[in-house]
Amino acid sequence: MEMVGLNIGACVGLVLYVCSVIVTAINPTVVQTQIIWEGNTTGEVYLYRIPVIINLPNGDLLAFAEARKYDIPRTDVGAKFIAMKRSKDKGSSWGPTEFIVDDYEAQDGLNLGTAMVDEEMGYIIILYVYCAHNQCPERQNVATNFVVKSKDWGYTWGNPVDLGLQNPDILGFDLSPGPGYGIQKKYAPNKGRLITCGHRTPFALKSVVCFYSDDHGDTWKIGGGLVGIPFGGDKKVGDFAPGEAQVIEYPNGTLLVNARNTHFYHCRCRMHGMSFDGGITFPVTSTKLVPELIEPSVCGSILLHGGTLFFSNPASTSGRFNMTVKWSNDMGESWPGQLPIYLGSSEYSCLSNVDDDHIGLAYEKSDYKLVEFVKIKVH
């Protein structure tokens, strides 16, 4: 199938400006699948959820997940590890599970947020939240953001650091990053800036907010986002309630946030917002709904790969099933292509680059029982 593609390197200004057009062939196909995790098999972990996948400059892929220790059905509280696996062959095989963070016997433990690569320093940085549901008496029931770093591509990890201890503005600021990946800006403005976006907790706030760092993840500041309406109040079905989010960067430096439409504002579809100043503001005039990206209110993932914008989620308005990858060759203005991945029960997902010709998808499959990696040849 011949699709119209954009030479995004020729774009200047807003992403909606006219750009030079080329014709490219794109016909994504699944070339390999691998089960990364299966719950209740080792005695240490009952369930693996919230997959996150990133690719490293050395070619390795790293997959992360919340390793939930106990059977607490359909809830995000409880004790967990952050689990990690490595692939050195572009997803064809995966090494053993490593536990890089442990919240021990927490009543309201960690929830995995975002992983990002700082290519300037050679760091991997993970942000996560502890006590997101305000059910941890040992911490005065206050949600807390933590960061943990690796300086050797994930072979060793430092100790988790409470962001609020070094960043007074973040102390007590309840944000659940992602889940998914964060980014390092490659283009001006603010080249080199680390950015991760997520949703506020308690969930009555229902807004997307971004954190950013200009010193390689040592200190973080609160940026802009998509503000829920009514502001600061409980939301009901039909209200504007942005949820879990991922951010990407276009080659003109514009940021695009793709967010969960938690209470189905005007549609059962995704929300988009843009920032033109490195994540400081997201003008209301740039906020839009994307009717082609239907959803049942769930986490999704977005990825820019070689000029094509990809999106993954359970493509349904009635339930969490039918994991699908869709794509756009005009920077999200239209979504003509789709690749069914799994028709059955599916939940959260995360896309990643693999190489010039492939992308990867990690997703929850079969009613949380499995986390599967799918390698997709894009052309």
Q: Which two tokens stand for residue 87?
A: 């692939």
The reply to whether 348 belongs to the active site is yes
The reply to whether 119 belongs to the active site is no
- Indicate the pairing of strand 21-25 with strand 2-6: antiparallel
352 in Cβ contact with 37 (< 8 Å)? no
Helix (H) or strand (E) holding 277: none
If one counts every other C-beta atom within 10 angstroms of the C-beta of residue 68, the result is: 24
Taking the C-alpha atoms of residue 80 and residue 109, their distance in angstroms, rounded to an integer, is 6
User: Cα 232–281–182 angle (5° rounding)?
Assistant: 90
The reply to whether 364 belongs to the active site is yes
Q: Residue 264 CA to chain centroid, in angstroms?
A: 20
Task: Indicate the SS3 state at residue 237.
Answer: coil
Task: Calculate Rg over the CA atoms of the chain.
Answer: 19
> Active-site residue among 48, 250, 348, 363?
348
> Active-site residue among 118, 244, 364, 372?
364
Helix (H) or strand (E) holding 164: helix 163-166
> Which amino acid makes up residue 101?
V
> Active-site residue among 60, 76, 102, 239?
76
**285 backbone dihedrals φ, ψ, rounded to 5°:** -65, -15
Q: Please identify every residue annotated as catalytic.
A: 76, 348, 364
